[in-house]
Amino acid sequence: MRYLTAGESHGPQLTAIIEGVPSNLPISIEEINEQLARRQKGHGRGRRMQIEKDQVKILSGVRHGYTTGAPITLVVENNDWTHWQGIMSAEPVEEGTEEKRRVSRPRPGHADLNGAIKYHQRDMRNILERSSARETTVRVAVGAVARQLLAPFGIRIGGQVLQINEIVAKRQEVSLDELIARTEESPVRCLDKEAEPLMMAAIDKAKEDGDSLGGTVEVIVEGVPIGLGSHVQWDRKLDGRLAQAIMSIQAFKGVEIGIGFEASGLKGSQVHDEIIWNEETGYSRKTNRAGGLEGGMTTGMPVVVRGVMKPIPTLYKPLMSVDIDSREPFSASIERSDSCAVPAASVVAEAVVAWEIASAMCEKFPSDSLDDMAENVRQYRAYTEKF
């Protein structure tokens, strides 16, 4: 499977085209919209989220509720477009007749300056419009389709926030069902009830100070068969692909699988997961420090991926920058902004992980139709249990 996204933050819409989704897969528009709504929530979001009410439109590839195997086009319209039509118009405008909201003072941490130099743009709006994480809207819609492809195989995904700024959540041993239910109730998508108000207070304080905060999110996938991905070629290793997916989310600067960076300080005997076998389910592991991946392939244990999001670059009390017209020092430009988007980003992280797992399923099993795929997954599972 593959997909592309298109669209600007303040343009008319975001679009995704997905190719390779098996035919005969039931698609629920409500479920896609539920995922879009989850991404819009979270303490620390800016005013834009009050303007938008993201809803998907399916323009191709789905008929009477089922995929046909043809490319699927997903669209999410920007309500904010009504305020930006002239500024973002594709039509030529006469010089001086239209307010362009030109950006000439690049924000440290955003794509503004590098993009402007690379693409020969004197108006950095032409960069920020596309680098904006508004794009994650359609990535979540794509992830929602991937989730619907995984659901018939009992593969389920949850996510949580583990840290915001200095506040680290205490680890909670809960089932995936409980994690999914409880994070949905939390304004910061955190299971630790003691950390939650501290995180919210830290976000409020940062906002008050004109500052921003980052943090850590975790995604867990259960029900994955053994052997997705491959050890035989670098670009087929599923751990590498998951890392790329997480790092492709705007503002993500770190990724780890299983115990990740902690492994550097431990001995092999403290890191590797002992192998066990039983007659009913076959091979398994005593622990899951590997986060469900060894040799670029799934072990059958839950896949556990964490990502670190840096603090949002746009600051209401801006850092110093340089104006590209005068080359004089100036405060960076201020665009309307979130002060912390870690809870929203955890929903995006779930989506991109869902996509990678679903893609790996389609590579492992014949996937022209859901019927082919279901039969092959059933046979393969019976085989792995007996191996």
Ligand X SMILES: Cc1cc2nc3c(=O)[nH]c(=O)nc-3n(C[C@H](O)[C@H](O)[C@H](O)COP(=O)(O)O)c2cc1C
Give me the residues that bind ligand X (CB under 6 A), please.
46, 109-111, 131-133, 136, 249-251, 310, 312-314, 337-338, 341, 344-345, 348
What torsion, rounded to 10 degrees, do the Cα atoms 246, 247, 250, 254 define? 100
CA distance 291 to 303: 5
CB-nearer residue toward ligand X: 228 or 341: 341
Q: How far is the CB of 157 from ligand X (least distance, A)?
A: 17
Helices (H), the chain: 29-40, 48-51, 81-84, 112-118, 125-131, 136-150, 176-185, 195-208, 238-247, 268-271, 342-364, 370-386
Structural contact between residues 332 and 106, judged by C-beta atoms closer than 8 angstroms = yes
* 3-state percent breakdown (helix, strand, coil) of the chain, nearest 5: 35, 20, 40
Tell me which residue of 234, 203, 221 sits closest to 309, measured CA to CA. Answer: 203
Q: From ligand EPS, ligand X, none, which one binds at residue 345 (CB under 5 to 8 Å depending on kind)? A: ligand X
> Can you give the binding site for ligand EPS, defined by CB under 6 A?
9, 46, 48, 132-134, 136-137, 250, 335-338
28 is in an annotated binding site: no
By C-alpha distance, which of 11, 17, 25, 24 is closest to 58?
17
Residue 9 interacts with which of ligand EPS, ligand X, none, CB < 5 to 8 Å by class: ligand EPS
**C-alpha–C-alpha distance, residues 220 and 292, integer Å:** 10
CB 123, min distance to ligand EPS, A = 16
Q: C-beta of 238: minimal distance to ligand X in Å?
A: 22
Nearest C-alpha neighbor of 162 from the set 220, 221, 217, 203:
217
- Which residue number, 111 or 242, has a Cβ lying nearer to ligand EPS? 111
Closest CA to 161 of 41, 247, 244, 266: 41
Q: Which CB atom, from 77 or from 338, has the smaller least distance to ligand EPS?
A: 338
Bridge-partner residues for 63, per DSSP? 66
Asked whether residue 298 is marked as a ligand-binding residue, the answer is no
Q: What is the DSSP string of 252-283?
A: EEEEEETTGGGGGGS-HHHHSPPEEEETTTEE
CB-based burial, 96-113: b 16+ in 10 Å, e otherwise: eeeeeeebbbbbebbbbb
Smallest separation, CB 38 to ligand EPS (Å): 12
295 is in an annotated binding site: yes
CB of 33 to ligand EPS, least distance (A): 14
Is 250 annotated in a binding site? The answer is: yes
Q: Side chain identity at 161, as an amino acid letter?
A: V
130 is annotated as contributing to ligand binding = yes
Nearer to ligand X, 48 or 364 (CB): 48
Is 230 annotated as contributing to ligand binding? no
Contact of residue 137 among ligand X, ligand EPS, none (CB under 5-8 Å per partner type): ligand EPS
> Which of residues 127 and 259 has its CB atom nearest to ligand X in the complex?
127
Q: Is 313 annotated as a binding residue?
A: yes
**Closer by beta carbon to ligand X, 65 or else 210:** 210
Rounded Cα gap, residues 188 and 190, in angstroms: 5
Cβ of residue 337: shortest distance to ligand EPS, in angstroms? 5
- Closest separation in Å from C-beta 137 to ligand X: 9
Distance between CA 17 and CA 73 in Å, rounded? 5
| C-beta of 298 vs 346, nearer to ligand X | 346
| Partner from ligand X, ligand EPS, none binding residue 134, C-beta < 5-8 Å depending on class | ligand EPS
Q: Which is nearer to ligand X, 71 or 115 (CB)?
A: 115
What are the tokens at 334?
């201020």
Q: Is 207 annotated as a binding residue?
A: no
Pick one of ligand X, ligand EPS, none as the site partner of residue 111 (Cβ within 5 to 8 A by kind).
ligand X
CB of 52 to ligand EPS, least distance (A): 6
39 has binding-site annotation? yes
Evaluate whether 219 touches 350 at the Cβ level (below 8 Å): yes
Residues annotated within a binding site: 39, 45, 130-132, 250-251, 295, 310-314, 336
Residues annotated within a binding site for NADP(+): 39, 45
Residues annotated within a binding site for FMN: 130-132, 250-251, 295, 310-314, 336
